[in-house]
Structure 1
Amino acid sequence: MKAGKSILYVIRQISFCLIWAWVGFSSTFSFAQDEVHCEEVWLNLKAEDIGSIELPSMICGREVYLSISRLFDFLKIKNLYDNELGELHGYIYNSKDKYLISEQELKIEYQDSIYNLRPDAIKSSGNGLFLKADYFEDIFGLENEFIFSRLSINLKASAELPIVRVAKREQLRKNLQQLKQEFIADTVIKRDHSFFKFGNGAWAVQNIENSESQDFRRFDLALRGEFLGGDLVADLSYNNRNHLDSRAQFYKWRYVNNSGKLFKQVSAGKVNPGSISTLFDPLIGVQITNRSSFSRKEFGTYLLSDITQPDWMVELYLNEQLIDYKRADNAGRYTFNVPLLYGNNKIEIRLYGPWGEEEIINKNINIPYKLLSKGKFEYSLTGGYLEKRNKSFYSQLKMDYGLSRQLSIGGGLEYLSTLNKNRFMPFVHSSVNLRSRFFLNGEYIYGLGFRGNFNYTSPSSLRLDFNYSRYNKDQDALRFRYREEIQARLALPVKTKFFKGTSRLSYLQYDYPNYTLKRSQLTFSGIAFGRNFNLNTQAFFTDFADPIATSDLSSIIKFSDKLFAIPRLGFSYSTMSLNYLRSEFKMNLFEKANINFTYDYDFNYEQHNVQLGFRYNLDFARFGGVANYNKYNTSFSQYISGGFEPGQNDKFIQFSEDKLPGRGSLSFLAFLDLNANGKKDASEPVVPELQVKSHSGGVRKKSSDGQYSFTQLTPHMPHYFELNSSYFPNISWRLKDKSLSIEVTPNTTTVVEVPIEVVGEIGGFIYRDEKTVKIPVSGIKLNIYDENNELVGQCLSQSDGYFHFLGLSSGAFSLKMDPDQSKRIGMTMTPVLFDIQNDIDGDIVDGFELFVTSN
């Protein structure tokens, strides 16, 4: 029956033209008739800044009538119809802006006014009430223009319609979700926990041969997977000098549940405590914390209130995205609750007056990650022993609490059994945010000393950081000799006629018992005269030697897309001579291979150094080598590394590039779900035309067969993906879900199967049987039911009686007239049974000729 569709389409178009020719002819001679003939049609209505729809309408001669309820539904205008009174009522812009349209009394009540209508102003049919287009403009301010030749009507509102407000609010919600990385997906895929599952691994081999020393060989093997529902990582390292040194090995098991209340992470093995003491050996133990495994994003809200001119429109932008808007009150006041994110928050207020006035107010609020939102409590508890020092026990308890939006406090206790003077170290710390641009952080450790940090960010992006630490003379927890440390950094953007970039000035000072060491550094990096430049000048000062001052200048010279050079020059102010000269050349031979050549000359030691290297990336490994020569020695090094993971498509294991440790990967497999079971069967073909977009970062790759994969994804958190079917070659292929939220499993490539539905369509004509003449009937609503009598689709007949519906899965269906419409207009239709059997191109069942009869 598929071939019949083209024939029916031609018949439909011919009949449509004949009907319109008849309508135009009858309208031309309408003056000789008692009543103008009216024809129900579908017009393409285009609303400015909103969109377009096919709108049920009536054309009577050259006059056009629009369906009131359908138009108001499209514009999100509330409308309720009273069958007994024949009245339609609701409100336009707000609940006080009420209206009433009466067919029986031929009147419209709106905004405390009554408009009496002419007898031909309202018409009715089985599709409800139709109002002449002129009245929509004269009464409700809905300007419209009917274009007869195109059968379309353009509409423009004089004020902001509800649908515009709804669309703006929806866009604001999307903008806010984008900033917070919070999305609502069609389907949520949670992580599956396993008792044991191998995830992936990595390996690396390195060999260094040196003419003046012992050769060095190293082998590394990393194994990652899942055990008892947690992440398991084991990194093994061997070399020919230290062999299997236990301190060079790493192993850790970590269980993560970011929705947990008492704890969110439990780790066992070699853990990182973030200790105050200096630990020279790895810590083997257990760590429990209620901190989330991923970085905090949302901090809280900030109440922003100000005064402008009365009735001005105020828009709120956060990090250049519109997130809210409102109109100032009669006194000019406006208030926003601004959601704040960790990091820098660029807030912009745009004010618009009624006569085109415009003002912009900028504000920056920086939220450091050390600051907790109000009422939030975090803790971590760690305990264990230092490797190779079995009698050295270590433990730490650390707690933090958000006292207010500007103040966080915390403290804890650290214990290390091998210390004599600082075995127990209680500590307290606090973080304060002052006037949104100043941040102060301080910590005091009993028996050890104190340290603090202050930073400031100006509206012009100037940033100042200052750190100060002072330690007790007799402490034995920190294994360095200086008692006082001062660090200061100043960064400022620079923009002149010849240079655009950043400048950084830093100062570092260490106070030792017998002397002081100072270092200052000034750096300019940016673009000058069309080239990238980096100038770094530093000076060293001590109490027992002359000052040393040097400068380093480097640039990047691009000869082509595949060849560039990095020249470097060092200069000494002490000797007023060159220190060194270096030139590095890099060339991409083709997509997967490159070589580099470096030449150095040290003027102080009169020494040349030449280095030649290459690298080649295969699909399963990366290998390369480096040759180095100078007057003291010659060395050659070779390396090869790669990764492996469980194989797909009946492969036991497959080799691949090394995956980033601790991250997860997703591979999307789109296929035609011919049997509608939601799983890919061997006979179901792959659909390479599916487009996948990530809103959570990661590295996107597309394979030769068109499948998308994303690597280096942060695990244990939902990642939002949008699926796009615009490039599908067949309109019968449908996506069930257009967005997915997927919780990523670490150290594993998860295959996400995306079933593509294949749907069928039906089509035909509806007539009213008037003896020997078949008269097309428009506006008949048809309901489609499956074999369980569940409603699965609806369609309306058009002006030529044609109906069509696309979107049916395989199965048995029935086609019936809508019972509410049947009762309202007093007409019935005999139900029709049909079957859909979809193949790869779907199925088409058409040729229906249905008849409605009066009761």
Structure 2
Amino acid sequence: MRPLYLFGCLRLLLAVLAALCLMAWVQPARADLRDQTKLYNASKVERNAIVLEAVLDGRVLSDSLTAYQDEDGAHVLLPLGELARLLTLAITVDAQAGQASGFVVREDKLFGLSVAHALVNVQGREQAVAPGTVQVLDEDIYVDGKVLSQWLSIDFVVDLPTLQLRIKPKIKLPMQERLQREQFGAPRGGLGTSTVRDPAYESLTAPYALASAPFIDQALGSDARLGRASSQYKTAYAAYVTTDLLGMEASAYVSASRDKPLPDVRMTLARNDPDGAMLGPMQARAVELGHVVVPSVPNVLLSGQGGMGVVASNRPLSQPSNFDRHSIRGDLPPGWDVTLYYNDALVGYQPASADGRYAFDDLPLSFGPNEFRLVFNGPLGQVKVEKQSFLLDQSVVRPGEFFYALAHQQTGNGALNVAQFDLGLTRVLSANLGLVNKPASELGDAAFYAQSGLRAYWDGLIVDTQLIHGPQGGLLADASVRTRIGRCAVAAEHVQRNQRFVSEWYDASTDSLHRRDKLMLNGSMPMEDHAPIAMALEATRDVRQSGSDSIVMAGRLSTQLWDTAMSNSLRWQRALQQVALDGTLQLSRRVVDVGLNAQMDYGLRPAASLRTLAITADHSLAAGYRVNGGVLHSTVSGSTQFSAGLSKSFGGFAAALSAGYSTRHELTIGIQLFMALGRDPRTGKWFADAQPLAGSGAASVQAFVDKNMNGVRDPGEEAVPNAGFFVGNGGRYPARTDHNGTAFINRLTPGQYTDIALDPSTLEDPQWKPERKGVRVLPRPGLVQAIDFPVIYTAEVEGTVYLVDEQGHRRGIGDARLELVNEQGEVLASTRSSADGYYLLHQVTPGHATLRIAPEQARKLHLSGNLAKPLDIPGDGEFLSGQDIELRMAPRQDAN
């Protein structure tokens, strides 16, 4: 039976491999060699597209800047037009003509570019453009970042491991001066928090449904493991589903295999509201039912395993899970991995686990900025970035504010209940209370813990004190202080307990911990020509009941060199007169279509040894193929494992072949299929994707000419094709509307407000104008929100302002301030007349309006006559001319 089954597996793998090779060999016919080359290059560039976060002086200008890499990795192409818009540079880009012109900062610093002639003019000096450094793509001109830095006197530093574009102008830009003025004029916000300009878009709330069409990420795999003693064959299916269900966000993870009689199911119903309008007077911001994870409680409860329960909290969603530590968890599809960066330092790496999740628990927070960046890499070269940022002063509880977090989980031994409360007492002082009721387990009897404390905030200093009462008279005191010295965050902590205090953090051994002192430092050292070196140091001294002590010192250095993120950790410990020293070296590199991750665990004392070594790499080939390989060596098990794979994305689904060999003479071969499914509510059609969808939200946008200005697309109203959109923090989304005026915007980060606005510069008719500035939505997993962007025809109003003398002679006058106001008196548009009295108002919204001389100017200059005139602005884009205004000087009255 086994040989027949193995023969079937091999035949299936060979068939799939033959199909992949056939698709790589067969190319559709081309009529023109030039068109063939153009299409091939476009596909090459498209495969190397990356999305960067553009940062200037620590401020995020765009979180979705599209850039491209060439095949050999020598050039990272940046969009000239988009960067000019973000930096407010006076450079105009005409992608269709392949030209750009303008100046940088000062009018004497002229700039001009011609793609067709491969020439650039910088400050009057004409230069030739090197081949491959400039390309016209996506309605913009893309230029190699290094070349663009020379042209504009602005350093564009691309950090590929973290997918960041750091912008460092050599001369101060007007935008920097404006941001500096805004920062000085803004109210003080604690530890230097910066405010982000709010565009004040209309807020659109998507109602929760009893049931909706889901997003489904699904993987089907089959593998055979052949060994000397035995052979195993396994077929497994896994699906991650998100949707609306019973008026809440539903997520479910289902896995099934041949060797399990029943599938494993994990399901959660959740609801998040940043405005805190749930559960009536409880004003909850987050509610979860079903499979939940109870957060850790310092000194009492470790981050627990998931289980059935309920969690409710009114804490702001932007705050960390604990005051001084934060846990990051989420779903991870099969074949994916995630790399964690903390303040640009590589600190963690996890591949997909068997339950389809990843978890970085109890990450310490330091005084000052705490930025966590998660870089997800898929088996087919997919890259996704998520970011969470905290300032420690975000946890300040204002006077009178009351926050709570409640959790109940049913375990195999009984119910686990956790309650945590924070109350703001004064501007600098808050109180907190924690209650934990823990069921009996194999680790100990049932226990109840009460935690109380005070937290004080001063300028540059945070002091935290906690007192915990446990069962049988157990007592623990914890005091800590956090501050910042220069570029280094410093924290010191002292913990003291009696022998009767027992928890998941502290055992009940005969010589258990009596007190603990800890010192932590976290900072960075700037480097002139390279990325800064991040440093972390932690020293801990434990004193036990017998008086014996142990010392642990741990340090980490992290930097980025040659487009590679490097991190090396060392841990020195002395206990019972024995000394040990070990370390971990981590590398992560992603350049063009090559990815590399490596981790080495080693020991230095008492003896030098290599414990484990793991290396994985992947590389993109032509026609969408991708190869990967890896080596895992362990001296503990005395074995080495080799792995290799080939995958291909077919657009709607992806397929992968894998093989592995172990020095224990085990051979593994397998095949995996992946497909994500979603439904567009506007068309009702289902679509498939080779990249995951279930973990993010989406929007189906529509642009149309709203002739009757009712905000709804009526029959006969024309679509607006080729319209672009701004999504998130100012970035242009790469997709544009089709001939039906619709576009699909996917992979929106759930639980965070996202701004979406129609880009007026992409409208083909200059008389078109978006009827709404933009919208603010709150994406949630599995939801496709339908959003309409009506476009209206605008008119132009022109005329002349005349001053009439006593003899009836009139002449045009300049600098007259004209305002166009609606029926509510709101100013719709304004302008000033030129020297001959001529004025022109652009893109005037249709409807009833009044054209007037500004009342303040009329009073100041004692003007009379025809100060205002009603207008009916047409809705068909007609030019409204001849709207003249005749003014007279009112006779001055004598003071007597």
CA offsets, 1:319-372, max 9 Å, x none? Answer: 9xxxxxxxxxxxxxxxxxxxxx996279xxxxxxxxxxxxxxxxxx97356553
- The answer as to 2:243 corresponding to 1:225 is yes
Whole-Å Cα distance in 1 between the matches of residues 823 and 423 of structure 2? 59
Structure 1 residues 784 and 527, CA, compared in 2 at 3 Å: closer, same or farther? closer
CA contact (8 A) 2:460 2:484 kept: no
Partner of 1:262: 282
CA contact (8 A) 2:724 2:758 kept: yes
Q: How far did residue 433 of structure 1 move?
A: 4.5
Whole-Å Cα distance in 2 between the matches of residues 470 and 570 of structure 1? 34
Equivalent AA in structure 2 for residue 702 of structure 1: A
The 3-state SS of whatever aligns with 2:232 is coil
Partner of 2:166: none
Structure 1 residues 619 and 181, CA, compared in 2 at 3 Å: closer, same or farther? farther
TM-score normalised by structure 2 residue count:
0.55
Partner of 1:640: 673
Please identify, of 782-791 and 393-402, the stretch whose mean Cα deviation from structure 2 is larger. Answer: 782-791
CA offsets, 1:681-709, max 9 Å, x none? Answer: 46422253444152399x95535859573
Q: How far did residue 643 of structure 1 move?
A: 2.9
Partner of 2:452: 428
> Which residue of 256, 264, 267 maps to 1:250?
267
Whole-Å Cα distance in 2 between the matches of residues 604 and 830 of structure 1? 89
Whole-Å Cα distance in 1 between the matches of residues 560 and 889 of structure 2? 82
The 3-state SS of whatever aligns with 1:411 is strand
Partner of 2:783: 748
Partner of 1:588: 620
Whole-Å Cα distance in 2 between the matches of residues 476 and 422 of structure 1? 11
CA offsets, 1:200-251, max 9 Å, x none? Answer: 33323343432245334332233333345432333333233344366x5223
> Which residue of 403, 422, 447 maps to 1:378?
403
Partner of 2:722: 688
CA offsets, 1:779-810, max 9 Å, x none? Answer: 79999899999997788876656554444556
> Which residue of 228, 232, 236 maps to 1:214?
232
Equivalent AA in structure 2 for residue 376 of structure 1: E
Partner of 2:43: none
Structure 1 residues 850 and 612, CA, compared in 2 at 3 Å: closer, same or farther? same
TM-score normalised by structure 1 residue count:
0.58
Q: How far did residue 404 of structure 1 move?
A: 3.5
The 3-state SS of whatever aligns with 2:487 is coil
> Which residue of 709, 712, 730 maps to 1:676?
709
Equivalent AA in structure 2 for residue 413 of structure 1: L
Structure 1 residues 405 and 663, CA, compared in 2 at 3 Å: closer, same or farther? farther
Partner of 1:652: 685
Counting only pairs closer than 5 Å after superposition, residues 295-444 of structure 1 correspond to structure 2 as 295=319, 344=368, 367=392, 371-383=396-408, 385-386=410-411, 392-418=414-440, 421-433=445-457, 436-437=460-461, 439-444=463-468
Please identify, of 224-233 and 829-838, the stretch whose mean Cα deviation from structure 2 is larger. Answer: 829-838
- The answer as to 2:592 corresponding to 1:561 is yes
Partner of 1:460: 486
Q: How far did residue 503 of structure 1 move?
A: 3.6
Structure 1 residues 786 and 646, CA, compared in 2 at 3 Å: closer, same or farther? same
Whole-Å Cα distance in 2 between the matches of residues 812 and 280 of structure 1? 64
Equivalent AA in structure 1 for residue 745 of structure 2: S
Aligned length: 620
Please identify, of 485-494 and 453-462, the stretch whose mean Cα deviation from structure 2 is larger. Answer: 485-494
Structure 1 residues 441 and 720, CA, compared in 2 at 3 Å: closer, same or farther? farther
Counting only pairs closer than 5 Å after superposition, residues 93-112 of structure 1 correspond to structure 2 as none
Q: How far did residue 459 of structure 1 move?
A: 1.8
CA contact (8 A) 1:688 1:707 kept: no
Whole-Å Cα distance in 1 between the matches of residues 529 and 842 of structure 2? 63
Structure 1 residues 253 and 777, CA, compared in 2 at 3 Å: closer, same or farther? closer
Structure 1: gaps spanning 5 or more residues: 1-163, 300-318, 320-340, 347-364
CA offsets, 1:698-731, max 9 Å, x none? Answer: x95535859573634242x644456542344433
CA contact (8 A) 2:801 2:884 kept: yes
Structure 1 residues 792 and 590, CA, compared in 2 at 3 Å: closer, same or farther? same
CA contact (8 A) 2:645 2:659 kept: yes
Counting only pairs closer than 5 Å after superposition, residues 52-71 of structure 1 correspond to structure 2 as none
Counting only pairs closer than 5 Å after superposition, residues 590-739 of structure 1 correspond to structure 2 as 593-599=625-631, 608-617=640-649, 619-632=651-664, 633-656=666-689, 663-681=696-714, 683-695=717-729, 701-702=734-735, 705=738, 707=743, 709=745, 711-715=747-751, 718-720=753-755, 724-739=759-774
Q: How far did residue 825 of structure 1 move?
A: 6.8
Whole-Å Cα distance in 2 between the matches of residues 795 and 464 of structure 1? 56
Whole-Å Cα distance in 2 between the matches of residues 375 and 593 of structure 1? 59
Partner of 1:202: 217
CA offsets, 1:611-656, max 9 Å, x none? Answer: 2134444544454343221221122344333433322452332234
Whole-Å Cα distance in 1 between the matches of residues 867 and 459 of structure 2? 73
Q: Alignment RMSD, CA only? A: 5.6
The 3-state SS of whatever aligns with 1:372 is coil
CA offsets, 1:174-220, max 9 Å, x none? Answer: 99899245725153333434444345333233434322453343322
The 3-state SS of whatever aligns with 1:726 is helix
CA offsets, 1:723-766, max 9 Å, x none? Answer: 54234443312234435433444531223322222112354678
Structure 2: gaps spanning 5 or more residues: 1-176, 324-342, 344-364, 371-389, 891-896
Q: How far did residue 581 of structure 1 move?
A: 6.5
Whole-Å Cα distance in 2 between the matches of residues 506 and 830 of structure 1? 73
Equivalent AA in structure 2 for residue 502 of structure 1: A
Whole-Å Cα distance in 2 between the matches of residues 165 and 214 of structure 1? 66
Equivalent AA in structure 2 for residue 442 of structure 1: Q
Whole-Å Cα distance in 1 between the matches of residues 788 and 550 of structure 2? 61
Structure 1 residues 342 and 577, CA, compared in 2 at 3 Å: closer, same or farther? closer
Q: How far did residue 379 of structure 1 move?
A: 1.9
CA contact (8 A) 1:225 1:233 kept: yes
Whole-Å Cα distance in 2 between the matches of residues 175 and 193 of structure 1? 38
Whole-Å Cα distance in 2 between the matches of residues 801 and 497 of structure 1? 57
Structure with higher strand content: 1
Whole-Å Cα distance in 2 between the matches of residues 266 and 236 of structure 1? 22
The 3-state SS of whatever aligns with 1:215 is strand
Structure 1 residues 280 and 549, CA, compared in 2 at 3 Å: closer, same or farther? closer
Q: How far did residue 501 of structure 1 move?
A: 1.5
CA contact (8 A) 2:268 2:288 kept: no
CA contact (8 A) 1:644 1:658 kept: no
CA contact (8 A) 2:769 2:793 kept: yes
Equivalent AA in structure 1 for residue 437 of structure 2: Y
Equivalent AA in structure 2 for residue 636 of structure 1: I
The 3-state SS of whatever aligns with 1:214 is strand
Whole-Å Cα distance in 2 between the matches of residues 753 and 226 of structure 1? 22
Whole-Å Cα distance in 1 between the matches of residues 180 and 519 of structure 2? 49
Equivalent AA in structure 2 for residue 493 of structure 1: S
Whole-Å Cα distance in 2 between the matches of residues 566 and 798 of structure 1? 64
> Which residue of 279, 290, 294 maps to 1:273?
294
Whole-Å Cα distance in 2 between the matches of residues 408 and 833 of structure 1? 60
CA contact (8 A) 2:701 2:789 kept: yes
Equivalent AA in structure 2 for residue 207 of structure 1: S
The 3-state SS of whatever aligns with 1:702 is coil
Structure 1 residues 570 and 381, CA, compared in 2 at 3 Å: closer, same or farther? closer
Larger Rg: 1
Structure 1 residues 541 and 619, CA, compared in 2 at 3 Å: closer, same or farther? farther
Structure 1 residues 700 and 626, CA, compared in 2 at 3 Å: closer, same or farther? farther
CA offsets, 1:66-94, max 9 Å, x none? Answer: xxxxxxxxxxxxxxxxxxxxxxxxxxxxx
